[in-house]
Structure 1
């Protein structure tokens, strides 16, 4: 009888272990990225630099470093460019590759006012980043925790009906604030919204999740969490001009992102659980 019980117990232990292996979350790994030999910067004339550069990846990095698009890039008197373009874009923008405190957060987006950049994370791993131009001094983008709401591939601005906004995703419904594609002059210039290059706006548009409504006035499930934080020094020179003297001047540490997320983490995980339950019922 004892032998029989021992065999049953061992069998149950083995079965339990197999179940745990099947349901356990796979161990996450940081995506492989090409690292440049060094990250340093220099001043250049944009027209002269472009006349000597045909590498599309280098142009993409230069636009991101200067928080601009190609149309505005050539209008600038001078630009900051890396001396080595062999790395992936993430090495030239300030967000950390991993934030362990966000391991349980399925999706989250950060917009940094001081550095005019954004980053998307999945379970604490940086999966996408790029430049942004946020609210100008007179119409600053509000900071804090938001959740994505409704979206539209193309819509018209509430400030000017001649402004067409592509890949628009609202994060503050009553305030009419969201991200979308629009020109990036290389400094905060919007009427509170979060301007992006088109490829970045489309990526976030397709990646982030919309809210779920019970009716016109009741939100059942909130969308993807978005944290907007920090302040921009409007009277100072562009922050990225510091990179020539100090390539790490704008670096955002893992501790800084944790500090920004921690006050909202409980709310984020509560809303995330509601979405998980909703998706399980679909």
Structure 2
């Protein structure tokens, strides 16, 4: 009996263990499954973390870009403001004069007609071309007389005995007038363009005409024309000054300057239609111009002496011609003594067709 009871208890215990074992297996997770679950959970957490960090970084990057754009816009605005501001140098200032800029209106309201004329002359232009320039050179102080702005020396000792002479400088696009070595006048000029440059050397004025028809284009009327090379068709006269060498070898002048020189210089004297008996006023044309860039007078703001010609330099330029100039001057003086009055060539008419004597 005891044996039967013991067997029954053992059987019950054995049955109980087998019943629990399958239940334990049902709720447990094997190693591979557990690792898969943990990996997926980590992936989801990482994705959430990356998304959160990316949004924050995007916001940060956007804010930084806005700051950069704002700074760049500020720099651009400052540059634009500086571009359209007057830049003041030691003796001259850069004055922007673009038609779209308010400084153009301010320019005309600030400076008188006479001051505008001076500014134009210093920029080697006429007043009609003021509005075409992007920037003008303006003196910080307006002097009593225009001659006080001269780039030419006031005195040339080796020309003391030369009664009259005109010197044209290609590099600075200006001319100087001397009487017995003393500067009496100077002004701007626009000489021959690169493809039709004004010849250099010593010339003498010959015939003149109040209004002359150009040999290049018969629609071009040259006011106050004074020829210095009859065969070459070169002379000075009034014509538009754009601020750089632009002519077909002639020497362009402001109207008032052309008229002054027209009345000041002497014509030649012809013994007959083809023979020159007495030459006119000596004229020297010298130097080279750097084509393709703005004239050196635009650097007056940085260097107020950039256009100044030294006395020794100009005397050296004139020296090779002094002997011939004095020789022709003596011939003229002798002629004046022997002939009273001088019968000069009769070419001072209102119009000389095609720059010729005929």
- Whether these two folds match at TM > 0.5 is yes
Pairwise CA RMSD: 1.4
Bigger radius of gyration among the two = 2
Deviation for aligned residue 1:49: 5.1
From 197, 200, 221, the counterpart of 2:278: 221
Residue of structure 1 equivalent to 2:95: 44
Residues 237 and 54 (structure 1), Cα distance of their counterparts in 2 relative to 1, 3 Å cut:
closer
Secondary structure, in 3 states, of the residue corresponding to 2:271? strand
The answer to whether residue 288 in structure 2 is matched with residue 231 in structure 1 is: yes
| CA displacement 1:88-115 (0-9 Å, x = unmatched) | 2123231111111110000000000000
1:120-131 aligned at under 5 Å gives the runs 120-131=177-188
| CA displacement 1:6-43 (0-9 Å, x = unmatched) | xxxxxxxxxxxxxxxxxxxxxxxxxxxxxxxx971110
The answer to whether residue 229 in structure 2 is matched with residue 172 in structure 1 is: yes
Residue of structure 2 equivalent to 1:70: 127
Residues 91 and 48 (structure 1), Cα distance of their counterparts in 2 relative to 1, 3 Å cut:
farther
**Structure 1 gap segments, 5+ residues each:** 1-37
* Higher RCO (CA 8 Å, separation ≥ 6 residues): 1
Residue of structure 2 equivalent to 1:196: 253
Deviation for aligned residue 1:134: 0.2
Residues 49 and 260 (structure 1), Cα distance of their counterparts in 2 relative to 1, 3 Å cut:
farther
From 132, 157, 176, the counterpart of 2:214: 157
| Distance in 2 (alpha carbons) for counterparts of 1:263 and 1:86 | 35
Equivalences, count: 245
The answer to whether residue 319 in structure 2 is matched with residue 268 in structure 1 is: no
CA contact (8 A) 1:39 1:84 kept: no
| Distance in 2 (alpha carbons) for counterparts of 1:100 and 1:48 | 46
CA contact (8 A) 1:93 1:117 kept: no
| Distance in 1 (alpha carbons) for counterparts of 2:111 and 2:336 | 46
CA contact (8 A) 1:39 1:92 kept: no
Secondary structure, in 3 states, of the residue corresponding to 1:244? coil
| Distance in 2 (alpha carbons) for counterparts of 1:100 and 1:61 | 29
Residues 275 and 75 (structure 1), Cα distance of their counterparts in 2 relative to 1, 3 Å cut:
same
CA contact (8 A) 1:136 1:189 kept: yes
Residue of structure 2 equivalent to 1:279: 336
Deviation for aligned residue 1:119: 0.8
Secondary structure, in 3 states, of the residue corresponding to 1:120? strand
Residue of structure 1 equivalent to 2:311: 254
Query: Which protein is richer in strand relative to its size?
Result: 1
Secondary structure, in 3 states, of the residue corresponding to 1:199? helix
Query: Which protein is richer in helix relative to its size?
Result: 2
CA contact (8 A) 2:125 2:241 kept: yes
1:48-63 aligned at under 5 Å gives the runs 48=105, 50-63=107-120
TM-score, scaled to structure 1: 0.84
| Distance in 2 (alpha carbons) for counterparts of 1:255 and 1:39 | 26
| CA displacement 1:70-98 (0-9 Å, x = unmatched) | 11111111111100013421232311111
Secondary structure, in 3 states, of the residue corresponding to 1:190? coil
| Distance in 1 (alpha carbons) for counterparts of 2:147 and 2:230 | 31
Deviation for aligned residue 1:260: 1.1
Deviation for aligned residue 1:48: 3.8
